[in-house]
Amino acid sequence: MRTPAPSLCWVELSGENPRLAREELRSVLRSLGEGALAPEPFPEPFVPVSGTSETTQRELARRLAHARALYRPLGEGGPADIARLLGREGSQGATARLRVARDEEGNRREACLRAWGDAYRTGGGRIDLTEPERVFRVVPGTQGPASYLLLEQVEVVDRTGFHARRPSQQTFRQPVTLSPRLARTLVNLSESPLGGTVLDPFCGTGAIPREARLLGHPVVVSDRSAKMLRGTLQNLAAAGISPETAWVADVSELPGLLEGLPRVSALVTDPPYGRASSTGGEGLTELLARLYAVLPAVVGAEGTGVLLLPHPDPGLPPPTGWRGEALGLAERVHGSLSRYVYRLTGPDHASREGTRAAADGEPPLT
């Protein structure tokens, strides 16, 4: 039987978009400056993270949008080893719920579930499927097809808040309104440090600044449409949020407007592309080119830009010294519109945190 490292935890990602979920997890670890994705094989959607304290684990559960829960590993081995582990845990006398990953199907899954539940009861524990004191998961292990991993839930990601903040509940809405869950994902992908200011220059209905502020980031908002800015401020006020600064402004005006204010650490936005929101007759490529031109001055060489686009790649070279990453499909809105995430990182971004390499326990997405 294999005993796990004490600083290892496992994050259960949500299954809708595994690629984006894993990149969000990696980005949040970089922002927090602690923990790394373990490079060993792992059973999707469970991802091992090494080097995390309990404080970081709580913060992961608070911040992540594409995750369900965090677990501590209790041990790995064959079916008999898992039974012994559960018997030992049952000696504490607590009520528990035990779930087996879907990978173990059919009669074998049911037989294992019965045997492991019996082992927990024999040890002195009780099974309670409704309000258990402890929750265990058994997932495929990392040591081959006969290996299993026993996990205990330590943190649950509260996803009910996203539902409460859904677009239909907003006072100001547009036909294609960004969901709070995707907005939070974009903020997390920006790798803005804790307390770093986030700017949305096409603030729309305010989903991005709202999620950024809920994560503790000061927010700056602007839009060249007075109507959209008013709508954003209305929705933010309903959530009890006040931006640091708000302007009716074109992106080309931002460097001058931000002069003398605290440095913005990340620009995160869903720019208009002429479908549900107007570009004022300007093509998306031209609009993005103007945004690229001011991005280094707005966020500095240590900052980032995260864009939600109707294509996987904007088709523009990044600003000099910057790196562009296509992070893949974010969502399909309808038959003719999908949204993709694209991230721009400044030449000094990695050195700002000093821990980017640690968070990259596995290779970046390609």
pLDDT tens digit string along 263-300? 999 999 999 975 444 445 788 999 999 999 999 999 99
Interhelix angle 207-214/180-189, nearest 10 degrees: 60
Interhelix angle 180-189/18-32, nearest 10 degrees: 50
pLDDT tens-digit series, residues 58-76: 999 999 999 999 999 999 9
pLDDT of residue 264: 97
pLDDT of residue 278: 47
pLDDT of residue 365: 40
Burial 306-339 (b: 16+ CB within 10 A, else e): bbbbbeeebeeebbeebebbbbeebbeeeeeeeb
Q: What is the mean pLDDT of residues 315-333?
A: 94
Q: What is the mean pLDDT of residues 248-257?
A: 97
CA–CA separation, 99 vs 113, rounded Å? 8
pLDDT of residue 42: 76
CA–CA separation, 360 vs 25, rounded Å? 11
pLDDT of residue 353: 46
CA–CA separation, 227 vs 283, rounded Å? 21
pLDDT of residue 225: 93
| Mean pLDDT for all residues in the chain | 89
The alpha carbon dihedral of 331, 333, 334, 336 has a sign of negative
Interhelix angle 79-90/106-123, nearest 10 degrees: 30
pLDDT tens-digit series, residues 115-173: 999 999 999 999 999 999 999 999 988 887 788 999 999 999 999 999 989 988 888 88
CA–CA separation, 304 vs 302, rounded Å? 7
Helix (H) or strand (E) holding 93: none
pLDDT of residue 6: 60
pLDDT of residue 360: 58
pLDDT tens-digit series, residues 21-56: 999 999 999 999 999 998 766 778 999 999 999 999
What are φ and ψ of residue 261, in 5° steps?
Answer: -95, 165
pLDDT of residue 281: 72
**pTM (two decimals):** 0.91
Contacts from 55-63 at CB under 8 Å and sequence distance 24+?
A: 56/32, 57/9, 57/154, 57/155, 58/155, 59/28, 59/32, 60/11, 60/25, 60/28, 60/29, 60/32, 60/35, 60/155, 61/155, 61/156, 61/157, 61/158, 62/158, 63/28, 63/184, 63/188, 63/215
Residues 6+ positions from 171 with CB-CB distance below 8 Å? 234, 235, 238
CA–CA separation, 155 vs 124, rounded Å? 24
Q: What is the mean pLDDT of residues 179-204?
A: 96
Q: How many residues does the chain have?
A: 366
What are φ and ψ of residue 138, in 5° steps?
Answer: -115, 120
User: Does the pLDDT value for residue 235 go beyond 90?
Assistant: yes
User: Does the pLDDT value for residue 312 go beyond 80?
Assistant: yes
pLDDT of residue 357: 47
pLDDT of residue 349: 92
Pairing between β-strand 245-248 and β-strand 134-140 as defined by DSSP bridges: unpaired
CA–CA separation, 226 vs 205, rounded Å? 12
Residues 6+ positions from 31 with CB-CB distance below 8 Å? 188, 191, 192, 193, 194, 353
CA–CA separation, 190 vs 10, rounded Å? 23
CA–CA separation, 166 vs 236, rounded Å? 13
Domains in the chain and their CATH numbers? 9-156 (3.30.2130.30), 161-359 (3.40.50.150)
4, 76 Cβ separation under 8 angstroms: yes
pLDDT of residue 143: 80
Q: What is the mean pLDDT of residues 294-320?
A: 96
Q: What is the mean pLDDT of residues 310-335?
A: 93
User: Does the pLDDT value for residue 356 go beyond 70?
Assistant: no
Pairing between β-strand 46-50 and β-strand 36-37 as defined by DSSP bridges: antiparallel
pLDDT of residue 44: 81
308, 277 Cβ separation under 8 angstroms: no
pLDDT of residue 363: 43
What confidence category does residue 251 fall into, taking pLDDT thresholds of 50, 70 and 90?
very high
Share of residues in the chain with pLDDT > 90 (%): 75
Query: For residue 243, what are the CA distances in angstroms to 218, 219, 237?
Result: 7, 5, 9
pLDDT of residue 334: 80
Q: What is the mean pLDDT of residues 295-320?
A: 96
pLDDT of residue 61: 97
